[in-house]
Amino acid sequence: MDPSCAMLTDKVAIVTGGGAGIGRGIAAGFCAFGARVALFERDEQRAVAAARELAAGGADVLAVPVDVRDGDAVGEAVAATRDRFGRVDVLVNNAGGVFAAPFLDTTEKGWDALHRANLKHIYHCCWHVGRIMVARGGGSIINVVSIEGVRAAPMYATYAAAKAGAINFTKTLALELAPHGVRVNALAPDICVTEGLRDLMTGEALRRAANTVPLGRLGDPADLAGAAVFLASDLSRYLTGETLHVDGGTHASSGWYHHPEDGHYVYGPLSPTNDGEG
């Protein structure tokens, strides 16, 4: 074990949803550690712009416009990646989407849409890339899930169910592919400040949300990138079937959060009598 184990030199990584947000941050992290990266992104302009920006820093990046909800399209995109780079060593299933709705107002169409966006695309990508990794005798698959996959999520029941499915799929696939040297793990963020989140929340709302995080700040894509580099590299060579909660401690906090006035821990809704002792 030495510092070179952290490097991804010459490894080839596919990052879905790689044109923006967490996916873009992970792709940048991979490039910084020497990987060659294929950005799978539904929005072609966003894919090309992200690839151009990363390439300007000297990285070898391929923009692959693809809707990962389409299995045949994923097969073609993976083939294009192999044509360009000759191999695939790392797969990051990051693409996804969410909308809020009470469960009883959720239609079957809405349920199916969220499961296609957050779970079924993982099947498509793992099915195609997993075969390549097994044939090569190794690889690392990283599924970006969510804290909502391990806790109740009112108004997001369908999304949470899909993320919980992805977490269990991670464990099961890890066991199936372990004999072939392929590791499968997951990253579970909570609130991560991306372009999309900034469009939805004001600066004040973001500051209030930071009180829910034990480390005192909201996450950003670079935080996920660091964990992804670890899982893609030989530093994590003995780690498989795990979900890492990259959330500043919110999974551990279980309802404890910082009081917005003095920063001491309180539990549950703020009230004049809540002194943090439960």
Give the residue-averaged pLDDT of 26-30.
98
Give CA–CA dist 213/208, Å, rounded. Answer: 10
For residue 274, is it within any domain? Answer: no
| Per-residue model confidence (pLDDT) at position 270 | 55
Digit-coded pLDDT (tens) for 128-157: 999 999 999 999 999 999 999 999 999 999
For residue 58, is it within any domain? Answer: yes
For residue 181, is it within any domain? Answer: yes
For residue 276, is it within any domain? Answer: no
Give the residue-averaged pLDDT of 30-59.
97
Domain assignment of residue 52, given as a range: 3-267
Q: How far is CA 5 from CA 13, 27, 88, 184, 230, in A?
A: 16, 18, 18, 18, 9
Q: Which residue numbers are catalytic?
A: 159
For residue 21, is it within any domain? Answer: yes
For residue 250, is it within any domain? Answer: yes
Domain count, the chain: 1
The SS3 assignment for 14 reads: strand
Give the residue-averaged pLDDT of 206-215.
89
CATH number of the domain encompassing residue 190: 3.40.50.720
Angle at 226 between CA 225 and CA 229, to 5 degrees: 85
Percent of the chain topping pLDDT 90 = 83
Alpha carbon 40 to its chain's center: 13
For residue 200, is it within any domain? Answer: yes
Torsion of CA 79, 83, 89, 91, to 10 degrees: -40
Digit-coded pLDDT (tens) for 226-255: 999 999 999 999 999 999 999 999 999 988
The SS3 assignment for 102 reads: coil
